[in-house]
Amino acid sequence: MSKHPISVTINGTAYEDTVDSRTLLVHWIRDGLHLTGTHIGCDTTSCGACTILVDGKATKSCTMFAVQANGRQIVTVEGLEQGDRLHPMQEGFHEKHALQCGYCTPGMMMAAIALLQRNPHPSEQEIREGISGNLCRCTGYVNIVRAIQYAAEKMSASEPVPVPAGEGDD
Amino acid sequence: MASEIHAHHGLGEPYKRKEDARFIRGQGTYVDDVQLPGMLYGDIVRSPYAHALIRNIDSSEAMKVPGVVAVITGKDLEAAGLAWMPTLSADMEAVLAVDRVLYQMQEVAFVVATSRYAAADGVAAVDVDYEPLPVVVDPKKALDPEAPLLRPDKKEKQPTNQIYHWETGDEDATNAAFAEAERNGVVIKQDLYIPRIHPAPIETCGCVANYHKATGKLTVWLTSQAPHAHRTLFAMVAGLPEHRIRIISPDVGGGFGNKVPIYPGYVCAVVASVTTGKPVKWIEDRSENIGSTGFARDYHIHAEIAADKDGMVNALRVHTLADHGAFDAAAQPTKFPAGLFHICTGSYDFKHAFVDVDAVHTNKAPGGIAYRCSFRVTEASYLIERMMDTLAHDLGKDPAQLRLQNFIKPEAFPYRSALNWTFDSGNYEGALHLAMKNIDYEALRQEQAEKRARGELMGIGISTFTEIVGAGPGKHFDIAGIQMFDSCEVRVHPTGKVLARIGVQTQGQGHETTFAQIIAAELGLSPDDVDVEHGDTDTAPYGLGTYASRSTPVAGAATALAARKVREKAKKIAAYLLEVGEEDLEWEPGRFFVKGAPAKGKTIQDLAFAAYTNCPPYLEPGLEAVNYYDPPNLTYPFGAYICVVDIDRGTGMVHIRRFMAVDDCGTVINPMVVEGQIHGGLTQGLAPAMYEELAYDADGNILAGNFQDYLIPTAMETPLWETDRTVTPSPHHPIGAKGVGESPTVGAPQAIVNAVVDALAHVGVRHIDMPLTPWKVWNILKEKGLTSD
């Protein structure tokens, strides 16, 4: 198979690498860059545990090749905390007990951040729809909804939170 | 000073989780996050057939694939005596198939390569020649004389496909009660199928095995709910000395019973590491997880209740056919082949009961005990709650009223059931009354009558279940011979901070927080001052692991008692320092003081420091304690759930309008964590009731082998759960706490099914098997002439 040089910015850091054409983005991020917060929960693009932001859009990184990330801006869970300041979404998940085993958590938070970027004041139904690409086996989603509501309130009440810019996904 | 100490969070507080700090930053350490120098990757060649002979395995092409290092087959393992491994049910299971495969997705060969991609290429290049054999999928046909014998390997001791017959209860007295009810009362009978489902934790199973030839030490990072038991089993199977095996169960991305057994992939990775001298990682994908690891349920039940004409129950009779798949690898205590299924008299005062279970082999993956089942309590609870509703409907009684008249009364505890369990405590009517009040049951029944008159379909379902968790007393409960105690080791540092290690293993249930709360409460500390570790068999005390909601009942008890031992020693030190007798001291959280002279006292921090710096000459220095707790009984949490459904007559869609869950798990350590357990558990009760089924076709092909077809509920399908609680402590538990993690999954499915049947009872629907898919419900509506356009 062919190899390709790529240049990708992840959490503000530029990475140069040469990847096989078939290498999935999630494997490159996890195995190659040791950013292991992004998880793999299925083999059919169903669970969303691998969700990251690619140019601001929530993207299941198991369903994208690393070469397709060439030239793009990516944010993973490791990029949410700014200095020692948690992102409101991280804070909300902690405050509202929106995680248990923690395995869906990174992808869930990334999907929720993308949701709030395109809809800063979602209803409960819109939140549930907005995270319907992300499976959680532990929480029953109730507290995840509460955490996202917490983050939405916090983000609209305070100064703009340094979340990477993007178009928001649609 | 004292009030300041009291202000600390402790027992009963919604203390925020210590675990969260790493998980919300992506800094958890799950097995697939472990990367070691020179690490190789294993991948498994799996059978496409449900039943076939293996004529030949040709690995020559696979060995030519760039990066492939080795291909291990069943014959290779056989030469090392490792082709088969013992299960927790005293059966043997093939690690890699030698001469035949017995289910689709069974492990046939293990490919080791320098990357996961190369390993997958290698798997595709292994050429296996199969000769298909007749397939047994339906357990009802497994005992037909013409059915092929699936396990010729154990023909000597088991000449048919029947694994066991197990029974309990007084059959004669039960039959007599039924004969009497046939004459003067009522007998209701119903077949119930509880479909095969899969726990499907979002993180699949996997391991990293690292064998050091120089030291002879094997370290395995493993998705394990029971790392110590796994260490012992590895020692027994592989012949390695136990002190040279270290199992590390790191952060685990959900277990739900799926990560209790030892799977062939783990053994293959260990063999591969020993063979290659390098670390070997094996991580299964989702399809492999669903297709080959421990399933749940798959019970075909025939149940009967004998009652009088007023609905007072008298006797319960249950016959069950259990489908265990190709190998009996059900993970339960050795003396209980059908788990604790005989809790099936439920919350009701049955005078007589008899239960039998026949288990058979089929061409399916092994398992059975998993998915918050508490050792078959899901099945037991489902059957009794469905039957109580059926009795109510048959008699034209309100299902709540029928339950209230048959409950074991609060004053009857400890209550000895007809099947010989001693229920510790309960107040069932209290829980049901609270649930009915919260949801305004009477108004709902009125609304239902009005809707029914308008042709709308609304149903109300009740489940008042009793759980049995905390296995268990060593006299009766053991896993592979090891008694089911659990343990805690509490070490207080000179500055009064605590390191505690426990023999159980969290998979998200919050033990690092809640066990710290137990110790903090016993010693008068903040939970912040207590770090809790688990999962490393080199450091943690031996325990039996976390499953069947046993952590709080068993290790939670050990934790409180270990902390009390520390406190007792601290008291001796306080007496020495204060120059008084121990009997002159009083304890308030965090401090011993002299009776009548409260200003004269020593804090736990003072005493910890003294233990290292100024220890009484008649005591050992240091301040630590360990407790291995053999529980005197199990704990019996309970709950009352009420579900309200509306059914769309056009589509057969069932909409859960409300779900009120009242749980009682005795003393609550952390209400926030308990509520989270209940939300998740209810969702795992919703799932089998409405969406999930692991079905096989007649050829033994898996019909829902990945998340495209195996429908885990998303946030869209999951209702807004409403929860409440009553508190009836366990009298035998050191802090009165009962387990709770599995209660909601045990209790919820029947509330949903009862609600849907309740919505359709007036047109003669008496039972519908799960899952209640729109297609299934729509067909019933159509048959009854209820479909709308």
Q: What is the CATH number of the domain that holds A43?
A: 3.10.20.30
Does this chain's domain B2-27+485-629 share its CATH topology with B296-472+633-783?
yes
Which of A26, A59, A79 represents a domain boundary (last residue)? A79
Cβ <8 Å between B708 and A102: no
Say yes or no: A94 and A147 in one domain: yes
pLDDT of residue A1: 77
CB contact under 8 A, B708 and A43: no
Higher pLDDT, B101 or A166: B101
pLDDT by residue for chain A (170 residues), tens only, comes to: 799 999 999 999 999 999 999 999 999 999 999 999 999 999 999 999 999 999 999 999 999 999 999 999 999 999 999 999 999 999 999 999 999 999 999 999 999 999 999 999 999 999 999 999 999 999 999 999 999 999 999 999 876 555 554 444 44
* Domain annotation covers residue A170: no
CB-CB contact of B381 with B465 (8 Å):
yes
Which of B27, B285, B715 comes nearest A144 by C-beta?
B715
Do A7 and A75 fall into the same domain?
Answer: yes
Total domain count, chain A: 2
Instruction: Answer whether CATH 3.30.365.10 is correct for domain B2-27+485-629.
Output: yes
Beta partners for residue B192, in sequence order: B301
Asked if residue A166 is part of any domain, the answer here is no
The residue range of the domain holding A46 is 3-79
Taken in order A28, B252, B278, B41, the sign of the CA dihedral is negative
Q: Contact at 8 Å (CB) between B546 and B227?
A: no
Residue A170 class from Cβ within 10 Å (0-12 exposed, 13-18 middle, 19+ buried)?
exposed
pLDDT digits (tens, 9 = 90+) for A117-157: 999 999 999 999 999 999 999 999 999 999 999 999 999 98
Question: Is B624 annotated in the active site?
Answer: no
- Residue extents of the structural domains in chain B: 2-27+485-629, 34-133+203-253+259-292, 296-472+633-783
Q: What is the pTM of this model?
A: 0.97
Q: Which residue, A35, A57, A79, sits at the end of a domain?
A: A79
Catalytic residue (choose from B203, B489, B692, B742): B742
The Cα–Cα gap between B356 and B166 comes to 5
Residues A39, A61 share a domain: yes
pLDDT higher than 50, residue B568 = yes
Q: What does the pLDDT look like over B497-509, one tens digit per residue?
A: 999 999 999 999 9
Strand B478-479 with B482-483, pairing: antiparallel
A51 and A98, same domain (yes or no): no
**Do A59 and A97 reside in the same domain of the chain?**
no
Chain B residues inside the 8 Å CB shell of A78: 25-27
CATH 3.90.1170.50 fits B34-133+203-253+259-292, yes or no: yes
C-alpha distance across the termini of chain B, in Å = 72
> Residues with Cβ < 8 Å from B445, sequence gap 6 or more?
B398, B460
Query: Is there a cis peptide before residue B749, judged by omega within 30 degrees of 0?
Result: no
Same domain membership, residue A97 and residue A75: no
**Contact criterion met (CB below 8 Å) for A10 and A61:** no
Residue of A104, A106, A142 lying closest to B720 (CB–CB): A142
Catalytic residue check, B297: no
Cβ separation A20–B117 shorter than 8 A: yes
Residue B371 exposure: Cα atoms within 13 Å on the Cβ side:
30
What's the gap in Å between the CA of A112 and the closest CA on chain B? 12
Band of the pLDDT at B238, cuts 50, 70, 90?
confident
Say whether B448 is catalytic. no
Kindly state the helix (H) or strand (E) to which residue B314 belongs, with its residue range: strand B313-323
Dihedral sign, Cα of residue A10, residue A15, residue A16, residue A21: negative
Measured between alpha carbons, how far is A29 from B431 in angstroms, rounded to an integer?
A: 50
Among the three residues A52, A79, A106, which one is the final residue of a domain in this structure?
Answer: A79
User: Is residue A12 situated within a structural domain?
Assistant: yes
In a domain, A169, yes or no: no
Q: pLDDT tens-digit profile of B739-784?
A: 999 999 999 999 999 999 999 999 999 999 999 999 999 999 999 9
**Residue A168 domain-assigned (yes or no):** no
Angle (CA) B775 B781 B782, round 5°: 85
CA angle B775–B779–B780, rounded 5-degree value = 120
- Which of A34, A38, A132 is facing B715, going by the closest CB pair? A132
Does A63 lie in the same domain as A114?
no
Q: Which residue of B13, B17, B22, B24 to mutate against A (max A Cβ within 10 Å)?
A: B24
Tokens representing A149?
A: 């509501």
The answer to the question of residue A43 being in a domain is yes
pLDDT at A165: 45
Closest residue of A to B372, CA-based? A138
Considering the four listed CATH numbers 1.10.1740.10, 3.30.365.10, 3.20.20.70, 3.60.21.10, the one that applies to the domain covering B296-472+633-783 is 3.30.365.10
Whole-angstrom Cα Rg for chain A: 15
B362 and B138 in contact (C-beta within 8 Å)?
Answer: yes
B372 is an active site residue? yes
Q: Residue B320, SS3?
A: strand
CATH number of the domain within which A119 lies: 1.10.150.120
Q: Could you say which DSSP state residue B407 is in?
A: B
**Considering chain B, what is the average pLDDT of its residues?**
97
Interface test with B, best of A10, A100, A115 (most B CBs within 10 A): A100
Compute the Cα dihedral for B479, B482, B483, B484 and give only its sign: negative
% of residues, chain B, pLDDT over 70: 99
Instruction: Give yes or no: residues A7 and A67 share one domain.
Output: yes
Residues of B in contact with A127 (CB under 8 A): 715
> Considering the domain boundaries, does residue A161 fall inside one?
no
Write out pLDDT tens, residues B648-699.
999 999 999 999 999 999 999 999 999 999 999 999 999 999 999 999 999 9
A63 and A108 housed in the same domain: no
Is A74 within the bounds of a domain? Answer: yes
